[in-house]
Amino acid sequence: MSAHTSMKDIYIADLANFDEGRPFDSFFLVLMKQQRTTKTNKPYLNLILGDKTGQIEGRIWDPSDPRIAKVFERGDIVKARGCASKFDDRLQMKVDQLRLALPGEADKTDLLPSTTYDVAALWAQLLGFVESLTSPDLKRLLNAVLGDPALAQAYREAPAAKQLHHAWLGGLLEHVVSLCTLADRVVPHYPLVDRDLVLTGVILHDIGKVRELSWEIGFEYTVEGTLLGHIQMGVALAEKTMDSLPNFPPKLKTLVLHMILSHHGKLEFGSPKLPMIPEALVLNFLDDLDAKMQAVQGEFEKCIREGKGPDELTGKVWALDQRQLLNTKRWLGEDKE
């Protein structure tokens, strides 16, 4: 086998249809590692292994086995060999061999959920929207933010949330490009709305997510993210950037900061301010619409994966106040799966 990155051919989602006891090997991300002891006081290792399709509990019954790597930690990519079986109705993997993956041997996008879109194409679309702005000041601001190489890299990789919507690598970029496209359909309908300001708000509203979330090992909140939140972090970043640009108009600065501060729409949803300008209202409604429709899409895909029929509703959807949903196109027979 070449050391090419497409070597992961068995995913956790495939294991449900696997014969119990049939050996397999694959690359996984170690999400948790704990030393435990059996009832007879024998030490064993309890692992949670993950890839882009899910997680599985792993057991290493004999950690001293020479075929088990002595040193591996949470966050490492490993190659594990073993077999899966059901225990308490949950799939579990008995690990017989485990080693650290070699550099370049496994691809991170196989191990964490990631966008199905081409990230380079999404990024080019985003820069196209920036280029289309007519306000030289707002264009200057966005070019300064997106021109920072470390921030641009994080913007291309970041998930849009830990679990609610677009919770995958590239999710933030996918969400923002979707919002820019939506904005261009809605804004022309309302002459009182300034397109440049809406697009600036769209591109910057979640910029704090690149520091609020970390995606090295699964998707987690950073300490700063937990204590400050992405709204505060985004405002600080935007303000610092505008202050560094010579002669940035103070009124425009106030409006940009208001867009970021109010984009959650309601105080109880964590917005420090309610939207008080037309552009902030549009941003809030489009942001909410895009997140909810993405959640709906995800639920419908889950139903198909689970083999539910067209007459069956989804389970209760947390992102939509615990309501169940019906896939109209499938129900009417218009959706050719």
Structural domain contains residue 3: no
pLDDT in tens, 214-252: 877 677 788 888 899 899 999 999 999 999 999 999 999
25-56 pLDDT, tens digit each: 899 988 888 999 989 999 999 998 888 887 88
pLDDT band at 8 (very low <50, low <70, confident <90, very high): low
pLDDT for 181 beyond 90: yes
Taking CA atoms, 226 is separated from 164, 208, 229, 233, in Å, by: 16, 12, 6, 11
- Which residue has better confidence, 327 or 15? 327
What pLDDT digit, counting tens, does each position of 75-128 carry? 888 999 999 888 776 788 999 999 999 888 888 778 887 788 889 999 999 999
Report, in angstroms and rounded to the nearest whole number, the Rg of the chain calculated over CA atoms. 23
Q: What is the pTM of this model?
A: 0.78
Residues 139 and 266 in one domain: yes
One-character DSSP codes across 142-163: HHHHHTSHHHHHHHHH--S-SS
Which bin fits 297, alpha (ψ -120 to 50), beta or left (φ > 0)? alpha
Residue 65 Cα distances to 26, 69, 263, angstroms: 19, 9, 54
Across residues 123-145, what is the average pLDDT? 97
Claim to verify: residue 224 and residue 210 sit in the same structural domain: yes
Q: What is the CATH number of the domain that holds 286?
A: 1.10.3210
Last residue of a domain, one of 51, 74, 109: 109
What residue numbers bound the domain in which 130 lies? 112-295
Q: Decide if pLDDT at 253 tops 90.
A: yes
User: Could you tell me if 149 and 179 lie in one domain?
Assistant: yes
What integer best gives the mean pLDDT of the chain?
88
Q: Are residues 162 and 269 in the same domain?
A: yes
Helices (H), 219-274: 223-244, 250-262
In a shared domain, residues 104 and 230: no
Region of residue 95 (phi > 0: left; psi between -120 and 50: alpha; otherwise: beta): beta
DSSP assigned state of 1: -
Same domain, 28 and 140: no
Nearest to 235 by CA among 259, 268, 213, 216: 259
**Residue, of 165 and 230, whose pLDDT is higher:** 230
- Judged against a pLDDT cut of 60, whether residue 304 lies above it is answered with yes
Rounded mean pLDDT, 308-319: 86
Given a cut of 80, whether residue 163 has pLDDT beyond it is: no
Q: What is the mean pLDDT of residues 147-168?
A: 83
